[in-house]
Amino acid sequence: MKNLFLALTTITISQFSWAQAPVNNNPESHLKNLTQLTFGGDNAEAYWSFDSKAITFQSNFKTWGVQCDQIFTSPIKKMGIKDTTRKSTLVSTGLGRTTCSYFMPDNKHILYASTHEGDSACPPTPESNGKYVWAIYSNFDIYVADLKGNITNKLTNSPGYDAEGTVSPDGKSIVFTSTRSGDLELWIMDIDGNNPRQITTGLGYDGGAFFSPDSKKLVFRASRPETEEEKAKYIDLLSKGLVEPTNMEIYTCNVDGSNLHQVTHLGKANWAPFYHPKGQKIIFSSNHHSKRGYDFQLYMINEDGTGLERITNNSYFNAFPMFSPDGKKLIFSSNRNNHGTRDTNLFVAEWVD
């Protein structure tokens, strides 16, 4: 979601990718030399290696021989060629469903979440009954593999959902989302998987977390049901392995869970946050402006919640932004240039402050 989404979380991006159309004519002034990197399927959650030379991402591109989201990697210089037979390197097993990959500090290993040990088949897509829901597959665990796809470590082994892992810039810690305490909470473990500790405790979905550039804070998406009816609905869906991610805001906290702060108060779905390299602003995806619901654009906001600025204006789906560690580029997913299909592709641009 994918997961991708799930940010994703796992996210079924194609549900939002119904059209290719400009939202308005304002220039995307922060994005210079925009380049399309993939050319088919749903491609999302692309994250940079620590040396800014490669990316890891998830794709369900059938031409590459996969049936649902799997993890791929490629040097950035080898992407952007419009050749659908040119396959990036498969890192995951090709079994089950995967989500949320991220480079390890040595640039030679990648962590990702996968369901393959629980079931080698792609898990079923949940029935939505007219509502947009994400599946929280209970057999997701977090693994580490080398660049050839050999699994070298399994970092989680608790019952329930463990996914959405990302690595701190200092290379010491991994933040992830887990249901091991009964709710979708943020947890942090050491880089080798040891010493897991719970970071958030509030009822609701906490996920898609990333560290600040100094590794001292976290930014993440969260739902916070308030009324008794909302709480009961959330708990009922979670018991069925589902969440309804239509009302989420951006939060920050210290890595020990202290100083929890709600950054956005925009309404609707605000998600896929990532810190600007200077550590004072946050880029994220939002549909708060949209009357349709599926129009997601990138925005940037100060850490204190002021200074909201729109970054993208082209196409109806833009999400999963990530700055390269050297601060020079931004990568994100978009359904621009998809010629009326449901494809969502990766794009990279030079970032202009």
Q: CA torsion sign, 94 to 97 to 100 to 106?
A: negative
In this structure, what is the dihedral angle of CA atoms 238, 160, 257, 271, given to the nearest 10 degrees? -50
Question: Can you tell me whether residue 233 is helix, strand or coil?
Answer: helix
Asked if residue 180 belongs to a domain, the reply is yes
For residue 203, the enclosing domain spans: 13-18+38-284
What is the arithmetic mean of pLDDT over 289-313? 93
Asked if residue 294 belongs to a domain, the reply is no
What are the pLDDT digits (tens) for 256-290?
999 999 999 999 999 999 999 999 999 999 999 99
Question: Can you tell me whether residue 170 is helix, strand or coil?
Answer: coil
Asked if residue 250 belongs to a domain, the reply is yes
Dig out the tokens for 226 from the structure.
Answer: 């308030």
**Which residues face 143 on adjacent strands?**
112, 154
pTM: 0.93
Asked if residue 8 belongs to a domain, the reply is no
Dig out the tokens for 237 from the structure.
Answer: 């869906």
Asked if residue 29 belongs to a domain, the reply is no
Could you tell me the CATH number of the domain that includes residue 42? 2.120.10.30
What distance in Å separates the CA atoms of residue 246 and residue 265, rounded to the nearest whole number?
Answer: 14
Asked if residue 25 belongs to a domain, the reply is no
What are the pLDDT digits (tens) for 60-85?
999 999 999 999 999 999 998 887 66
Dig out the tokens for 200 from the structure.
Answer: 């958030």
Report whether pLDDT(18) > 50: no
What total number of domains does the chain contain? 1
Enclosing H/E stretch for 232:
helix 228-239
Asked if residue 30 belongs to a domain, the reply is no
Asked if residue 61 belongs to a domain, the reply is yes
